[in-house]
């Protein structure tokens, strides 16, 4: 157990570090991920102290990734920044290492570290869940606005679409990434939540395409 005020200071350090983050990946995203971590972590039997600290810190490198146009990996940078914040608190190395692993692995795709601990798997699921469903749709359009993308593009346009440009629409995000999120869940609780969010999201983008084509 760690003192309650330590988590409070970790939260404050993360909040201050994220001042330059875009709205689609800002502090409200962190708070939603924290809420999901508490829910999933409780059901799965995870260490909630490690999980809460990791949730607060998981996107502390996000502003640099956004400003670099995606060149900088926010998870790798965030892990280094998280370690510095935690070391200032004088926390045990095994505790620091557990939190840092969660932060470093939360973006897991084809490369980079895979979530190994239960806490890392819960954070991964919580972070991905916030990218789908009603919230995920809202975030996808918000991000598209941040990078200056247009409202919609068709399936034919996607082959020429590139990240952080005019064709980086919410629909591109859906087709390239979000439609696959449900099947990447690492916990049973995460998959159960993802199933409902996935169905809602698929129905929304189907309707959007029909409206754009003048069919609805």
pLDDT in tens, 161-216: 888 888 999 999 999 999 999 999 999 999 999 999 999 999 999 999 999 999 99
Q: What is the CB neighbour count within 10 angstroms for residue 107?
A: 22
Is 78 within 8 Å of 57 (Cβ atoms)? yes
How many helical (H) and strand (E) elements, i.e. helices and strands, does the chain have? 10, 0
131 Cβ contact partners less than 8 Å away, ≥ 6 residues apart: 139, 140, 177, 178, 181
Which pLDDT tens digit goes with each residue over 153-167?
Answer: 888 788 778 888 889
> pLDDT confidence of 63, banded at 50, 70, 90?
low
- Calculate Rg over the CA atoms of the chain: 18
pTM of the model: 0.90
Domains of the chain: 1-113 (1.10.472.50), 131-216 (1.20.58.1910)
Which pLDDT tens digit goes with each residue over 24-50?
Answer: 778 999 999 999 999 999 999 999 999
62 Cβ contact partners less than 8 Å away, ≥ 6 residues apart: 18, 21, 22, 25, 74, 78
| Model pLDDT, residue 3 | 66
| Model pLDDT, residue 215 | 95
> pLDDT confidence of 68, banded at 50, 70, 90?
low
Residue with tokens 């689609």: 24
């Amino acid at each position: 157990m760690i003192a309650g005020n330590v988590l409070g200071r970790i939260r404050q350090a993360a909040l201050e570090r994220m001042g330059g983050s875009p709205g689609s990946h800002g502090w409200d995203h962190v708070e939603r991920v924290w809420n999901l971590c508490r829910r999933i972590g409780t059901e799965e039997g995870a260490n909630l102290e490690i999980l809460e600290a990791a949730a607060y810190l998981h996107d502390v490198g996000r502003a640099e990734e956004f400003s670099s146009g995606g060149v900088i990996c926010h998870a790798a940078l965030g892990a280094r920044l998280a370690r510095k914040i935690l070391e200032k608190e004088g926390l045990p190395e095994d505790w620091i290492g557990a939190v840092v692993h969660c932060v470093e692995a939360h973006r897991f795709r084809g490369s980079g570290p895979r979530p190994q601990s239960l806490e890392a798997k819960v954070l991964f699921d919580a972070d991905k869940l916030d990218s789908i469903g009603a919230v995920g749709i809202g975030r996808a359009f918000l991000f598209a606005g941040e990078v200056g993308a247009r409202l919609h593009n068709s399936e034919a346009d996607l082959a020429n679409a590139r990240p952080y440009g005019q064709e980086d629409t919410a629909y591109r995000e859906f087709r390239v990434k979000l439609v696959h999120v449900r099947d990447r869940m690492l916990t049973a609780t995460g998959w159960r939540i993802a199933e409902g969010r996935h169905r809602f999201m698929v129905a929304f983008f189907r309707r959007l395409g029909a409206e754009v084509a003048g069919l609805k």
